[in-house]
Structure 1
Amino acid sequence: MPSRNRSTRNVCVVTVPFSAVPLRRSRCPVVLGVLNVTPDSFSDGGRYADLEAAVAHGVRMHTEGASLVDVGGESTRPGAGRVDAATETARVLPVISALSAAGVPTSIDTTRAEVAAAALAAGASVVNDVSGGLADPGMARVVADAGCPWILMHWRGHSRTMQQLAVYDDVVAEVRDELRQRADDALAAGVAADRIILDPGLGFAKTAEHNWRLQARLDEIIGLGYPVLVGASRKSYLGRLLADAAGEPRPVDGREAATVAVTVLAAAAGAWGVRVHDVLGSVDALKVWRATEDAR
């Protein structure tokens, strides 16, 4: 994890290239800004399909404080169908190349080794794999060879069928143990321990109750000893919590305050980072959290 400027109170800023030093928790969690260059993502599908719009949004998020802009070319919302690798690659590479040229650090959100390899060659610094390495056995070799950080998310199946797999006796214990196995497999494939980041996968093969339990007991995932990323931004369990009197879930654009609340809770629990759509809201909240912690 990059070091941060300790001389300026309340500020969380990256002061070295993202992947220049081993990952570790610093004064504030890092913020990953979501950039979906897809027509069908649950929150911003189609909004940044145009290259100019995508790059402008990525630059804006970086300016607002995103340590990484996480670029994805295939929707992973519940029920989404897959696109082929050529389509996914064609969507993400121009955006990653342009953002890299503009000095914006990026991660590639993909489950495919060939897409990850192309994105890393185009300038991406991190692989964010929602399948935790399960979808493509070639991913571990790509990451190990590149020496880049690898975000391993808890996953039980692709989007079209994943909610059928949301069956647990103890969701926290099972997610913890399955993430431990993902990390062990990565180590066995030659990925360095200080390159591994874990993500409990809120909303992926999880019910709302599962998400709340994982959020409440995040310390048990952090206890595995790896940096932990939390991705709750605008997800449906927040929308259902904020439903109106008729029981209609709050629309995605009305879930930002709830997302920021999760950001602060994740920071307090010791999370390494959060992945959000609205970067500025979470960055501001983390400054408030850090200032409060510094005053204790």
Structure 2
Amino acid sequence: MSASQHAASVVVTGAAGYIGRHVVSALLDRGHRVTAVVRPGRGGVVDPRAEVLEADLLAPDFDPADLVRGEPDAVVHLAWQDGFSHNAPSHMLTLSAHYRLLTAVADLGVPRISVLGTMHEIGYWEGAIDADTPANPRSLYGVAKNALRAGLFLALADKVELAWLRCYYIYGDDRQNNSIFTRLLEAVDRGDATLPFTSGRNKYDFIEVRELAEQIAVAATTPGVTGILNCSSGEPVSLADQVEAFIAENELPISLEYGAFPDRPYDSPAVWGDASRIREVMASAGAAN
């Protein structure tokens, strides 16, 4: 933490999730006080240094005032249902509950709100994604996140410091993920010698989950940082190169069966986040990036 920053009181929703657990630890490591909000029964998986609040945030009878009793400096909203299932109906069915929760939190006086976004808001795009890239999402997940982003900026931009933290392709802690890296580990567990694969030529923006958590922790607690930030590496890497590196680094006894699956026609040949702004934020905070 730089000299210009101070320890903040931060509420993190979705704190027991794949990303959330790492964000909680990153905030605590930077000296902040954290209330980790988890679904009932999930409190045991978060960093024990955090205060845990078990609650169903999206339930109609949940009182948003319960989130802000300690008058937090910031809320980091990571909670989302079925994030690994991009066309689950729940994305649309719970959209209004997320909007209701976050607008209520703003009305209760929380000065700073950060919300996790996704590159899937954009849909098909070739090249770098920046804050002005037009959105045309192609999944229910992307549609719901895009609608939440648009609605929150219309409703809250003049009331609170609002940051939309758009993330990309995440790896690391892969037993908790649902990615190609998870499938590789599961294939090795089964004793498979090969894994059916695409051509692997498409290029994406890969970011390790702990690095992403550090970016989120810094952006969410830096006063004055608002708008859309691409929490990403900013570097396009081919899927084949990333997966082959993962296999080598982990010394996995498996190889890729290239061409077993066709490349999906709706996947961009190359897409990545414009990371210039998050790099500036990290540098100003004295954080490694």
The structure whose Rg is larger is 2
Instruction: Provide the TM-score with structure 1 as the length reference.
Output: 0.39
Instruction: Provide the TM-score with structure 2 as the length reference.
Output: 0.40
Q: Quick check: which one's strand share is greater?
A: 2
Q: Quick check: which one's helix share is greater?
A: 1
